[in-house]
Amino acid sequence: MLAIIGGTGFAQLTNLKITHRQVLRTPYGEPSGPMTFGTINQHEVMFLARHGYGHTIPPHEVNYRANLWSLRDQGATRVIAVTSVGGIRADLVPGTLVVPDQIIDYTYGRNFTYFDGKDKSVTHIDFTRPYNEKVRQQIIAAVKLAGEACVDGGVHAVTQGPRLETAAEINRLERDGADMVGMTGMPEASLAKELGLAYATIAVVVNQAAGRGGSRDGVPLETIGTVMGPAMERVRNILECAVGQDGD
């Protein structure tokens, strides 16, 4: 079954025909909110708002372990996560959709693995390719079916938040090879890998990162909403085309 994780600006999946909602509990606590179950084009889908349905959970306090565990526990095998990012690379202007293929983790203090505790053996995962390539290609195919456009590939830097970055920090990320910056991609991607979930991301560029383009004197937070609304509607159209591609 396909699971969709919604981020900032995507707390509701309006094209989902809801059948029921369920409050779930996991060995790692409660997820961000009740799981929403339903169908899109007669295909079963589950949806979870990463920040809660009232957008009240900041990036560093999201219970990523509970979120991913609950998805797998309810039968998800494929996960498409939607996340908002700032564009570092010059061509990643507001409104651009990106399907990243690499990630750099700058977060700290988050519960980032299921393999901790004295009762568990030391376990390593191969994170060379952080996103599932089959799901990435399914997203890209869905973009074309929806008549939309996206950037195929890119390095997603994940910072701690909730504050935005300084211009100097963005310069550092650029030197490290990052193309975009967000706050929620990790440990979400690595936890999905630990659980064997096929996970990929649609990144929505909602602003230019600090010191870039029109944000040289500061990120214009008041304009993000005007970009986010139409961009998230495009994402919904893409998701309609993505369901059913893997036998969901």
* CA dist., res. 10 & res. 96, Å (int): 16
Residue list for the binding site for phosphate? 8, 50-51, 184
DSSP 137-196: HHHHHHHHHTT---EE--EEEE---SSPPPHHHHHHHHHHT-SEEESSSTTHHHHHHHHT
* CA dist., res. 241 & res. 239, Å (int): 5
Supply φ then ψ for residue 160, to 5 degrees: -75, -40
Residue list for the binding site? 8, 50-51, 183-184, 207-209
Residue list for the binding site for substrate? 183, 207-209
Q: Which of 93, 95, 49, 79 is nearest to 189 (CA)?
A: 79
* CA dist., res. 142 & res. 238, Å (int): 5
Please, which residues bridge with residue 97 across strands?
204
* CA dist., res. 78 & res. 248, Å (int): 9
**Residue 100 · residue 201 · CB < 8 Å:** yes
* CA dist., res. 181 & res. 84, Å (int): 9
Supply φ then ψ for residue 169, to 5 degrees: -65, -40
* CA dist., res. 41 & res. 39, Å (int): 6
